[in-house]
Amino acid sequence: MATATLESFLERLHAINMIGLWELYPIYAQLPRHGRLESPPPMWRWRDVHPLLLESGDIAIDSRRDSTINARGGVERRNLVMMPQGAPVGAATVTMSCGVQYIKPGETAPAHRHDPAAIRFIIEGSGAYTSVEGEKLYMEPGDLILTPRWTWHEHGNDGHEPVIWMDGLDSPFVMNYLHADFWEPYPGGYLPVSHPVGYTRRRVGAGLVRPVGKIRERALPILYPWSEVYPELLHQKESGENLDAFDGINLEYVNPVTGAGPTLPTLSCRMQLLPAGFESQCHRHTSSFIYRVFRGRGWSEVGGHRVEWEAGDCFLVPSWIWHRHAASAGEDAILFAMSDQALLDPFDLYHEEAAPDSAS
Ligand code: 1HN
C-alpha cells in the first residue's frame, strides 16, 4: 500500500476505534515484563506501623459505612491499608491488598459481605473473633482465618485486651480489574450467632480424617490454628527433607474442602521457616507475594535491593522479580506469605526460573 493510502487507511481505522496489530507491537514492547518494583522496594516496618495503629484506637468503630469518617466520628473498620507510592487504588500488589486492623475489648465491627475474599493473619492479642456466617472464629497470634467471598463477616472482641491482625484480600483483582465487586451491609448491622464455636472444624476433621459426607459447600469459615501449624513447621525442620533451596521449609495452607491447595480460589497462603543462618538461592516467578515476618530477623534481596527485616515487618515481592531470603544466624525466621499463585495456576500462567548464578 502506498504511504499516503496507508495513512488514510489508518486514519479511517482509528476513527472507528480500531488499530492495526502491527501498530500495537512497539507499544507492547514498552510494557514491563514484571511487576512494579520501586527503588528501594516498599517496606512497612512494624516500628512505624504499630504506633499509628494504636493511635487509630482513638477513632471509634461505628455501624455505618461512610466514605470517610462518618458524622459520628466513627469508621466501619479500624483498618490501615498498605498502599505503595503510585500503586492502583487500595492495591499492595497488582492483585492483592493488605492492611492491619485493630479492635479493642467490647467493640464490634459490623457485618457485611463482598465479592473480594479475605484472609486474616493474627498478630497480637487474643479474645477477638471474626464471625463468618454466624460462626465465631476466635483468634490467637499466628492463626489464619478465611473469609471466602460473599460470606457475611463481622469482627468483635469479647476479651480483655486489644487485638491486631493483618487483612489480605484479592480486592484489586476483583474490583480494579474485573469490576465485579458487590458489597452489602448486613441488615441491622450485627450477625446472630448461628453455629457453636468449632462447628466447621468438627465438620472438616483433622486433615487426614473427617466425618463422612458432611461437606457440600466450598466456601467455609476455616481457622488454621498456629498451635497446629507450628509443630508441623518444627517437625519439617527437624526432618530437613523438605527444605526448599529457594524458600526454606515452605508449608501451604491447604483448603480442607478440596484437600489440596490453594487456600482460597484467588489467594494462596504459606508459612515459611528459614532455619537460623539459612541463605536461599535466587529465583523469580510470575506470582507476586506479600510477606509478613512473624518471628525472627533476616534479609531478602528483591530486584537487587537488600531488604532487612524483623518480626512484624511487611515487604513485597512483585511478579518476575529476582529474589532470595536469608535468616540471621541467631534464630530461625518465620514468614507468613500470601500470593496470587491461585489465580495463575488454573490458566497455566505460572512460570518460575532459577537465577543462572543461583546465589546472586
Ligand atoms: C474488608 O471488608 C475488611 O471485613 C478488611 O475487615 C479489609 C479491604 C478492602 C475491602 C474490604 C474486613 C478490607 C475489606
Neighbours of 92 (CB within 10 A): 27
The answer, yes or no, to whether any atom of ligand 1 lies below 6 A from the CB of 303, is no
How far is residue 170 from each of residues 46, 91, 340, 349, measured CA to CA in Å? 23, 9, 8, 17
> What is the pLDDT confidence band of residue 32, given thresholds at 50, 70 and 90?
confident
Asked if residue 69 has pLDDT above 80, the reply is no
What percentage of the chain reaches a pLDDT higher than 70? Answer: 96
Averaged pLDDT of the chain: 93
Tell me: the pLDDT tens digits for 158-187?
999 999 999 999 999 999 999 999 999 999
Task: Give the three cell numbers for residue 200.
Answer: 466447621
Tell me: the pLDDT tens digits for 200-249?
999 988 788 888 887 777 789 999 999 999 999 999 999 999 999 999 99
Read off φ and ψ for residue 358, nearest 5 degrees: -60, -15
Report the pLDDT averaged over residues 58-69. 69
Decide: 93 and 136 in contact? Cβ < 8 Å. no
The answer, yes or no, to whether any atom of ligand 1 lies below 6 A from the CB of 116, is yes
Beta bridge mates, 195: 135
From the list 101, 120, 108, the residue with the least C-alpha distance to 158 is 108
Distance (Å, rounded) from C-alpha 7 to C-alpha 19?
12
Decide: 224 and 206 in contact? Cβ < 8 Å. no
Q: Hey, which of 67, 79, 131 would you mutate to test ligand 1's pocket, going by the most ligand atoms within 8 Å of its Cβ?
A: 79
Distance (Å, rounded) from C-alpha 315 to C-alpha 295?
14
Q: Hey, which of 56, 166, 167, 191 would you mutate to test ligand 1's pocket, going by the most ligand atoms within 8 Å of its Cβ?
A: 167
What is the reported pLDDT for 168? 98
Tell me: the pLDDT tens digits for 246-296?
999 999 999 888 777 799 999 999 999 999 999 999 999 999 999 999 999
The answer, yes or no, to whether any atom of ligand 1 lies below 6 A from the CB of 167, is yes
The answer, yes or no, to whether any atom of ligand 1 lies below 6 A from the CB of 168, is no
For atom 7 of ligand 1, the residue with the nearest CA is 167
Distance (Å, rounded) from C-alpha 135 to C-alpha 156?
12
The answer, yes or no, to whether any atom of ligand 1 lies below 6 A from the CB of 77, is yes
Answer whether 0.75 is exceeded by the pTM: yes
Task: Please name the amino acid found at residue 241.
Answer: E
For atom 10 of ligand 1, the residue with the nearest CA is 171
**317: CA distance to ligand 1 center in Å?**
22
The answer, yes or no, to whether any atom of ligand 1 lies below 6 A from the CB of 108, is no
Sign of the torsion angle spanned by Cα atoms 199, 204, 208, 209:
positive
Distance (Å, rounded) from C-alpha 357 to C-alpha 360?
6
CB proximity list for 89: less than 8 A, separation 6 or greater: 172, 175, 176
Burial 310-338 (b: 16+ CB within 10 A, else e): bebbbbbbbbbbbbbbbbbeeebbbbbbb
Identify how many contiguous H helices and E strands the chain contains and give both numbers.
7, 25
Asked if residue 47 has pLDDT above 80, the reply is yes
**330: CA distance to ligand 1 center in Å?**
37
Atom of ligand 1 nearest to the CA of 153: 4
Radius of gyration (C-alpha) of the chain in whole angstroms = 23
For atom 6 of ligand 1, the residue with the nearest CA is 77
Atom of ligand 1 nearest to the CA of 90: 9
Atom of ligand 1 nearest to the CA of 77: 6
The answer, yes or no, to whether any atom of ligand 1 lies below 6 A from the CB of 162, is no
Q: Hey, which of 169, 173, 190, 267 would you mutate to test ligand 1's pocket, going by the most ligand atoms within 8 Å of its Cβ?
A: 169
